[in-house]
Amino acid sequence: MRSTLGHLLVAAVLLLPSAALAGMRVESGVAKPDIRFKANGEPGALDIDARTNECSVVDDGTTLTFTVPLSNIKTGIDLRDEHMRDKFLQVGTYPNATLAFAKANIAWPTELGKRVDGTLDADFTAHGATKKVKVKYDVSKTKQGWKATASFTYNTTEHGIAVPNYLGVSVDALQHASAVIYLVDAP
C-alpha cells in the first residue's frame, strides 16, 4: 500500500510541471495578433494581402490549435472582401481556419530574449478540409510570455476553395499564410 501511494505521489509530482504549462492563451494587451493571407495575382499585376487581428488558441496540454475567424478578414476593398467571404470562403458554412500542431514540437525558450526557430508539421483546416503543412516558426521569450511568428504555404484547391477570378484577373491557388502572435501561460 505504501509503495503504491509513493508511486502515485511521484507520478503526480512528475505530471505537475506539464499541467502547469498546459494552458496558453493569446495575449492581445501587448500587441494584437497580426494574421495575414497573401495571394499572388495572375497575370501578376495584383497581389492580395488579407489581414485580421483576431486569433485564439486552445491548449489541451499536448496540442496547440490556433483559430482565426474568417468573417472579419479585410483586403482593403469592400467588394473584394464580400466576394472572398461569401463566394469563395463561404464563411456562413466554414467560419474559421485552424492550425494545429504538437506543442512539444517547439522547444519553448525560457530565458528573456532567447529565441528558437525551426520547421514543424501541422494540420491546416480551411473550408472543412484538413491538410498537412510545413510551418516555419520563430519563438522568442518576452517579459510576459512568448512572441511567435509563423508562416506556411497552402493550396486553396486542396481545401475545396475555388480560385477567385474577377474581370479576367485571378489569383494563384498556392497561397501564403503568416502570423505574429504573443502568447502567455493561462492561469
Residue 37, domain extent: 23-185
Domain assignment present for residue 140? The answer is: yes
Q: How far from 34 is each of 63, 69, 73, 127, CA to CA, in Å?
A: 21, 13, 11, 21
pLDDT 10s digits, 68-125: 999 999 989 898 889 888 888 899 999 999 999 999 999 899 999 899 999 999 999 9
Which residues are within 8 A (CB) of 105 and not within 5 positions of it... i.e. 6 or more apart? 120, 121
Total count of domains within the chain: 1
Domain assignment present for residue 11? The answer is: no
Which residues are within 8 A (CB) of 165 and not within 5 positions of it... i.e. 6 or more apart? none
Which residues are within 8 A (CB) of 50 and not within 5 positions of it... i.e. 6 or more apart? 36, 37, 38, 39, 73, 74, 75, 84
Whole-angstrom distance, CA of residue 89 vs CA of residue 95: 8
List the grid coordinates of 70.
Answer: 474568417
At 102 the pLDDT is 96
Domain assignment present for residue 144? The answer is: yes
Domain assignment present for residue 159? The answer is: yes
Question: How much is the pTM?
Answer: 0.83
- DSSP assignments along 55-80, one per residue: -EEEE-SSEEEEEEESTT-B-S-HHH
pLDDT 10s digits, 26-62: 877 778 899 999 988 776 667 888 999 999 999 998 9
Domain assignment present for residue 15? The answer is: no
CATH assignment at residue 107: 2.40.128.110
